[in-house]
């Protein structure tokens, strides 16, 4: 091989190193395969791309479980209560197909007629919520002020859809309400077990959240007994709270209902549809 003056011939080791680098860069691509029409292997490298490209039209629907937003792609035996028990003597030990931890599926958003029931479910299943008031504090007058409060819309067997609270005048949120009774209440589905069990991030729009806005009022004497049943049945420790803090019951007189359970904004639910709906899981 002729070599011009001033140039050095390429060494075989250099060519080999270049080929190894190329193969190392391209090899991860072989690890991504489409398993089925509704499942992906999600890794850190594609999380961001998947989130940005996900739309209701592009994402496939899952009819496997109508009560779930996300459903792990495990074999059916994994969902049985006795799946963890050893097989009976003499029985062949079947090996279930492996399920990568990053496999997931999900369903589409339910129709408008089901949204009031989902909103009532969140109102009844929530043990606490984030209450936003208009601050009356001298350092932040007129600014939003948020606080997490325990609540209940009734005993477990009696959902009213109206959130009740057991509060003290010393709470900053209550001091705000004495000046301006208008407030917003956020009830996230992540407060329960559903989103954690189904590997849904609490900030994911598919993890439903309900926002109620209205006027916070003190419970009337005629309704105090029901308020006690509602709060103390869900939060028994409240009975032992120090009495010197002058606890009393409040409730929200709901004016607007907003539900988010998918991409693309929130749904406005009428009060009529909300109060006549039967609670159902999102």
Give the Cα-Cα-Cα angle 51, 54, 58 (nearest 5 degrees): 160
Query: Other C-beta atoms within 10 Å of 123: how many?
Result: 27
Give the Cα-Cα-Cα angle 14, 15, 18 (nearest 5 degrees): 90
* 211's tokens: 């926002």
As a whole number, mean pLDDT of residues 59-80 equals 40
| Mean pLDDT (the chain, rounded) | 74
pLDDT-wise least confident of 18-27, 64-73, 78-87: 64-73
- Name the architecture of domain 113-276: Roll (2.30)
- How do residues 239-272 score in pLDDT, each as one tens digit? 999 999 999 999 999 999 999 987 777 899 999 9
- How do residues 89-132 score in pLDDT, each as one tens digit? 665 555 555 544 433 334 444 556 678 999 999 999 999 999 99
């Amino acid at each position: 091989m002729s070599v011009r003056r001033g140039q050095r011939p390429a060494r075989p080791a250099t060519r080999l190193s270049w080929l190894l680098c190329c193969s190392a860069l391209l090899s991860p691509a072989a690890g991504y395969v489409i398993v089925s029409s509704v499942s992906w292997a999600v890794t850190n490298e594609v999380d961001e791309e998947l989130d940005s490209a996900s739309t209701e039209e592009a994402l496939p629907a899952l009819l496997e479980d109508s009560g779930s937003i996300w459903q792990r792609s495990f074999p059916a035996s994994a969902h049985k209560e006795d799946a963890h028990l050893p097989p009976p003597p003499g029985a062949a030990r079947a090996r279930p197909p492996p399920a990568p931890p990053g496999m997931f599926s999900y369903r589409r958003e339910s129709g408008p007629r089901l949204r009031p029931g989902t909103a009532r479910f969140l109102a009844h299943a929530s043990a606490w919520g984030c209450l936003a008031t208009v601050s009356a504090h001298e350092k932040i007058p007129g600014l939003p002020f948020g606080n997490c409060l325990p609540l209940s819309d009734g005993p477990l067997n009696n959902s009213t859809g109206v959130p009740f609270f057991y509060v003290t005048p010393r709470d900053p949120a209550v001091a705000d309400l004495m000046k301006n009774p208008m407030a917003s209440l956020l009830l996230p589905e992540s407060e329960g077990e559903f989103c954690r069990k189904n590997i849904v991030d609490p900030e994911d729009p598919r993890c439903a959240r309900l926002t109620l806005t209205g006027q916070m009022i003190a419970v009337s004497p005629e309704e105090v007994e029901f308020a006690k049943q509602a709060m103390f049945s869900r939060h028994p420790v409240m009975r032992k709270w120090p009495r010197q803090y002058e606890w009393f019951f409040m409730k929200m007189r709901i004016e607007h209902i907003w539900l988010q359970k998918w991409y693309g904004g929130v749904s406005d639910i009428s009060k009529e549809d909300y109060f006549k709906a039967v609670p159902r899981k999102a």
